[in-house]
Chains A and B, each alone.
Chain A
Amino acid sequence: MTSPADADLEVVHARRPRPRRGVSLRDAGPPVALVVVFGIFAALSPGFRTLSNVQNVLDAAAVLTVVTCGITFVLMMGSIDLSAPGIMGASAIAVALLVANNRNDNDYGLLGVVLAVLLGAGLGCLSGLALVTLKVPSFMTTLGISAVGLGVATLMFAGVQPNVSDRMLAGLAVERFLGLAHLTWIAFACVLVGWLVQRYSRLGRYAFAIGGAEEVLALSGVRVAPYKVAVFTMAGAFYGLAGVMVTSQLGAGLVQAGRGYDFSAIAAAVVGGTLLIGGRGGILHSAVGVLLVTVLTNGLVQVGVSPYWQGGVQGLIVVAAVAAAVIPQRRRNQVTK
């Protein structure tokens, strides 16, 4: 870019702003992709650009947002987490059985929701413990915990689907505040909490550092293991909450409440610019990724793409969007695995 002579002359002045510009450019990719995709759909479909559809997109993104909040911290550490389907299934059935329902006489209301989230946190904690004590890779521990969660859910399911009659829980999906369902506000709150944790707490900053250079952190005297367990526990709590939200939406506890959310969330986080190798990205990136994926799903239906084409078209656009988003991050000697 600059000639060697210039660089020599302006070493101090030229170097300083550059990393900053690099960061902002790198972060700009996914939001730009979101705006472009949104603009294209808005131009193509009058139904897409209505206020009610924008509300619909935000409502539809709520559950995936919460799951992605959890998974983002794990990805930042450079680990992977496939436990969402199991933990969500277990918490979905648990909450359906704890609030007023057609299976038993429980009516714990909000306490039931808290217990279901704690169940999620407990299962997440197990993944973390298995990772740090048994040194099993996170890919396998979380896959195992997912199976455990599904097993717990199936046992509690016992052949009869629990339907929720609790007003409070069912109301979360139906009642609206400022045009958005209460669940959507819960998702906003999760993003805010996630962002605060990531920005201001030791847990969030260490998660980044673990992903960036775990050995360095360990050699400088930080005990890494407790933070890893804490991150998985927090992720589990987010999945537990997501399971509760699905139950609220469907009015029933389903074992399959979380099916497919593991990969959708990982995809959303990566689309938003969180790297699978860790150390980069964050909650806000992931939130943008979730919106991008949701806008895509919604827009293809609004535009009227045939269902036979949608899967393929969606995949192509996601790959294109990620490719466009990572252009600023591309370095000549970067290795992609």
Chain B
Amino acid sequence: MDSSVKRTILFLIFCVIGAVFIVRLVFLQLLDDSYLRSAQNNVLQEQTIYPARGLIYDRKGELLVYNDAIYDLTVIPEQVKNLDTTVFCKVLGITKNDFIAKFEKLKRGKGYAPYRPSLFEKQLTIPMYAAFQEKLFDFPGFFVEVRTDRKYKHSNAAHIMGYIGEVTDRDIEQSDGYYRMGDYMGISGIEKTYEKDLRGVNGVRYILVDSKNRTQGRYKEGTFDTAAIAGKNIALSIDQVLQDLGEQLMRNKTGSIVAIEPSTGELLALVSSPTYDPNLFIGRDRGNHYMELLRDPTKPLFNRPLAAPYPPGSIFKVLESLVGQQEKVLTPATSYACHHGYLFVGCHAHSSPNQLRGAIAISCNGYFCQVYRSIVNNPRYHRVEEAYNSFHDHVASFGLGKRLGVDLFGEGAGFLPPATYYDKVYGRYRWQALTTLSLGIGQGELGITPLQMANATSSVANRGYYITPHIVKAIAGKPNPNPEYNVKHWCTVDTSYFPIVIEGMQDVVERGTAYIARIPGIEICGKTGTAQNPHGKDHSVFFAFAPKDHPKIAIAVVVENAGFGATWAAPIASILLEQYLTGKHDTRPALVERMLNGNLTHRDDSIPATKSETF
């Protein structure tokens, strides 16, 4: 082929492309006038339509959280013209320096562009909003955007609800473009866990505005608009009445209550005390409120039921009884004598000797030290650590010493010492049952969270399995949204070993240490505990489930620095059981009154004070 022909071919290709461009220009510029209309002295503006966040209900359909309108002031910096700053600042109640600082901060923000709306001032008060609406024409470039914030109908269950807050730069980066500066998202609690369900999907509206920011109409008749999809409503497994009563009973006390429906693993109540009003985290002052709560020495933000580890005290004896039987070192007929304790572990005065059932009922320390010893020094195993590991694994199968996987953030693992831990402390082969004897009565290094206590109770109530505790009951009307929460986790103790222990637990309430918790007509099985506390007075612990057959509720109560389990924890649990099972709690008004009014907040301060006077 002649080379100049090749040149001609190449140039023809160039011309074809040029012709394609010209044809395209004919369409864009001459034939299709919609672009002209779009642009005729108009500017395309994008408005985000925020969907309503999902509502939150309790297990009975009682509304807990709803939405309330709030007004944000946004600005498109490029459109700000001839602004009378003095008037503007007066309406907003800020100084001119604040105004300049705000603008500087805006410009440093992520995704800032002079032609895009940025959040200038969030959550205007109603009078501010009114004043602004009136003067908006004087402030071109500024707009008031309506969005919704949360309202908590009952002002309780703050730790469950969590709160929503403005997204951080990191959230924006990680969200793959969903969040924008000034958006809100769940920061903790249920708002965080189920953020994706609750938030819905933002919609977008494209409108045309003229250079003076007056709306001229929809862009391309709204072809590109997307509707906002409202967030899904969530039903919690919480019983609002029970939760509220629990919080009232724990007022002026420090501690936790966890109530679970054993057959489903649903959390019925989750009380952390001291608590706070979730409505504090709404509105313009939420930052200040947050700082106040953060500085509060009683740590109201700490989610105790999920994260605070306690030595469980005597309630651990229930698990030992089960493990002992499984390891064949204990039968219901095993009898040990107790002479006010065993070696260095003391015991209170009671009849002796006892068989298993009786030992549980009177919580005999001596008996359970022997049981613990026979488990750990079990001759079936070659070494102590093998026996101990076997014990450790049995106990762990009740959900102790690990995170259970509840659908709330901030869950702690607690601590169930493995054999290697004692190897480290005492040296390998240099420890045995007697070295770690305090474990036999649920003291020592053990750390169990109230959630784990309740879960263990639930396992006993179910005669050998638990379902991971969770707080969601239904999402958008669909029950049991998470299949993980249908799985039965079987403990390594056979079902046949449970009845005798449960009999013993019933005796605890009927005639044993927790007689105070007895409710005529309801078969309650429980166990008191008094958790030794190296930092102050012992913690009062009680766990129970009821009724004995087909249990409907398992509960664990911890009251910090309150002494014996029977003094505070057991009566509080009893009142809650009565409320949940009968719907009322009015049979023992004096007891209820005493629990409601009990104030344990200043005890810690007073005890050291008197001591120092004595010495």
Partners in one complex: no
Residues of chain B at the chain A interface (Cβ within 8 Å): none
Binding site for B on A (CB under 8 A): none
